[in-house]
Structure 1
Amino acid sequence: MDLRQLSPTLAVSPQILPDEVPALAAAGFKVLVNNRPDEEIGAEIDHEVMAQAAASAGMGYHYLPFHPGQVTPQLITDFIAATTGRGPVIAYCRSGHRCTVLWALSQAGKRPEPEILEVAAGAGYDLTPVRPLIASLASRRG
């Protein structure tokens, strides 16, 4: 697994497999957030299989599919709800990039924009293309 820490309570990752979920629970993660739409993958790792793997490992689970280029206010709100106050969270998608975008948008107006971009870059994700959206959300929240 390729876990990349964005905050003390949130890590992101490329695709996670069902047999990796018990190790995540053993590492202390309490919640699994799946941002990968089922249309991108086979039935062996779809959201129902992953929900069962999380339940078997004693983890909470949220299926919040993020189709490329289709971020919505509701998706951001749901991501915030899924990643707040429930202990360490691991979110995944194909590469971890979409999860990082959702995290960045959830932080807009709470943290300085350069800090958000720096944290994302430190995890290996270039969020320069979403910088205008981060700034827009920050101005609405600020």
Structure 2
Amino acid sequence: MEIRQIDQDFAVAGQIGAEHVQAIADAGFRSVVCNRPDSEEGAVPHDQVEAAVRAAGLEFRFIPVVSGAVTQDDVSDMAAALAALPKPVLAYCRTGGRCTNLYGLVQQTAG
């Protein structure tokens, strides 16, 4: 698992599984956001990751975003989650790229 720090409160990663959650908690993250739809080939069902995240005492949000088709609702949902979740937040998708792009759109909207 490779974590890429975007800023002080937000980082991204590619697909994670329940086996990665303890390392995420140990790294100091307090929340995890899944931006990968369960229907994508190779996706780990978000409920499996969510169960591990919650068992580790972290917060979890499922905001599935279709690759290459980010909607305004996706941006609004992510902005609301980032405003509400304890920081720092780790978001994941297939490679981390979608999460990075979505975060950039949230920042543009907020700015």
TM-score (norm 1): 0.72
Compared with structure 1, are the counterparts of its residues 24 and 110 closer, same or farther at alpha carbon in structure 2 (3 Å cutoff)?
same
Deviation digits for residues 47-85 of structure 1 (CA, Å, limit 9, x no counterpart): 111110111111100011111122111110111122235
| 1:92 alignment partner in structure 2 | 92
**Which structure dedicates a bigger proportion of its chain to helix?**
1
Which of the two has higher C-alpha Rg? 1
Q: Counterpart in 2 of 1:55?
A: 54
Q: TM-score, normalised by structure 2?
A: 0.90
Q: Which position in structure 2 is the counterpart of 1:137?
A: none
Q: Percent identity?
A: 41
1: CA distance, partners of 2:87 / 2:108: 21
Alignment length, in residue pairs? 110
Alignment of 1:1-142 (within 5 A): 1-41=1-41, 45-84=44-83, 86-108=86-108, 110=110
Task: Summarize deviations over 1:80-121 as a string: whole Å, max 9, x none.
Answer: 12223521000000000000110110111556xxxxxxxxxx
| Ranges of 4+ aligned residues in structure 1 off by more than 6 Å | none
Letter in 2 for 1:92: Y
Structure with higher RCO (Cα < 8 A, 6+ apart)? 2
Q: Which amino acid aligns with 1:80?
A: A
Cα offset for 1:42?
Answer: 5.5
* 1:12-48 C-alpha deviation (Å, 9 max, x unpaired): 01111111101111211011000011011468x2011
Which one has a larger percent strand, Structure 1 or Structure 2? 2
Structure 1 unaligned blocks of 5 or more = 112-142
